[in-house]
Chain A
Amino acid sequence: MLLPFCWMITTSIKTYADSVQIPPVWIPTHPDFSWYGKIFEQVPFGRYYMNTIMVAVGRTVPQVIFCSMAAYGFSRLRFPGRNVIFIGVLAILMVPSQVLLIPQYYEMVRFHWVDTYRALIVPGIFSAYGTFLLRQFFMSLPKELEEAAIIDGCNPWTIFWRILLPLTVPALSALTFFAVLWSWNDFIWPLVVTNDDSMKVLSVGINSLQGVYVSKQPLLMAGAAMATVPLLIFFLVLQKFVIKGITFSGIKG
Chain B
Amino acid sequence: MRLASETRLSLTRPAVKSRMRLKEMLWGYFFIGPVVIGLLIFTIIPIVASLVLSFTSWDGSSDVKFIGFANFADMFADNIYLKSLRVTTIYTVVTVPCTIILSVIIAVLLNRKMRGRDAYRLIFFLPSVTMPVAIAVVWKWMYNGSNGLINYLLSLVGVDGPNWITDERFILLSVMIIAVWGGIGYNMIILLSGLQGIPDSYYEAAAIDGATGWSRFIHITMPLLTPAIFFVMVTSLIGAFQVFDLVFMLTPPSNGGGAGGVLQDATRTAVYSIYQNGFTWFKIGYASAQAWVLFVIIFLITMVQMYLQKRWVHYE
Contact = CB atoms under 8 A, between A and B. Distances in A.
Contact of A139 (B135, B291, B316): B316
A73 B32 contact: yes
Given A92-B47, A173-B193, A250-B199, A239 B118 contact: yes
A136 B194 CA distance: 9
Contacts of A80: 25
Contact of A221 (B125, B127, B131, B227): B131
Nearest to A223: B131
Interface in A133-161: 133, 136-137, 139-143, 146-147, 150, 155-157, 160
B316 A143 contact: yes
Contact of B139 (A4, A24, A66, A181): A4
Contact of A103 (B46, B130, B224, B274): B46
A8 B316 contact: no
Contacts, number: 275
Contact of B125 (A128, A139, A235): A235
Nearest to B279: A98
A85 interface: yes
B173 interface: no
Interface stretch (A31-39, A41-49, A50-58, A118-126): A118-126
A24 B238 contact: no
Main secondary structure on chain A at its contact with chain B?
helix
A169 B295 CA distance: 33
Given A4-B138, A75-B4, A170-B196, A69 B227 contact: no
B231 A69 contact: no
Interface stretch (B36-44, B76-84, B210-218): B36-44
A73 B181 CA distance: 35
Contacts of B234: 90, 132
A45 to B, nearest CB: 15
Contact of B39 (A8, A126, A139): A126
Interface residues of B, number: 97
A99 B50 contact: yes
Contacts of B192: 170, 174, 242
B278 interface: yes
Most buried by B among A23, A69, A139: A139
B281 interface: no
A61 to B, nearest CB: 13
Interface residues of A, number: 100
A106 B27 CA distance: 34
B18 interface: no
A174 B189 contact: yes
B5 interface: yes
A79 B24 contact: yes
Contacts of A73: 27-32
Most buried by B among A1, A122, A147, A178: A1
29 contacts: A1-B126, A3-B138, A4-B127, A4-B139, A5-B134, A66-B34, A66-B35, A77-B4, A78-B21, A88-B44, A89-B36, A94-B238, A97-B242, A98-B278, A99-B50, A103-B47, A126-B35, A133-B231, A139-B315, A140-B224, A140-B228, A141-B197, A156-B24, A170-B194, A224-B130, A224-B133, A228-B131, A231-B129, A246-B200
Given A8-B134, A232-B122, 13 more contacts: A4-B135, A69-B35, A70-B34, A74-B32, A78-B4, A79-B26, A89-B35, A126-B35, A137-B227, A140-B194, A174-B193, A228-B130, A249-B199
Interface of B: 1, 3-6, 8-9, 21, 24-32, 34-36, 38-39, 41-47, 49-50, 53, 60, 118, 121-131, 133-135, 137-139, 141-142, 147, 181, 186, 189-190, 192-194, 196-197, 199-201, 224, 227-228, 230-231, 234-235, 238, 241-242, 244, 270-271, 274-275, 278-279, 284, 287-288, 291, 294-295, 298-299, 302-303, 306, 314-316
Interface of A: 1-5, 7-8, 11, 22-24, 66-67, 69-70, 72-80, 82-83, 85, 87-100, 102-104, 106-107, 122-123, 125-129, 131-133, 136-137, 139-143, 146-147, 150, 155-157, 160, 167-168, 170-171, 173-174, 177-178, 181, 185, 206, 217, 220-221, 224, 227-228, 231-232, 235-236, 239-240, 242-243, 245-246, 249-250, 253
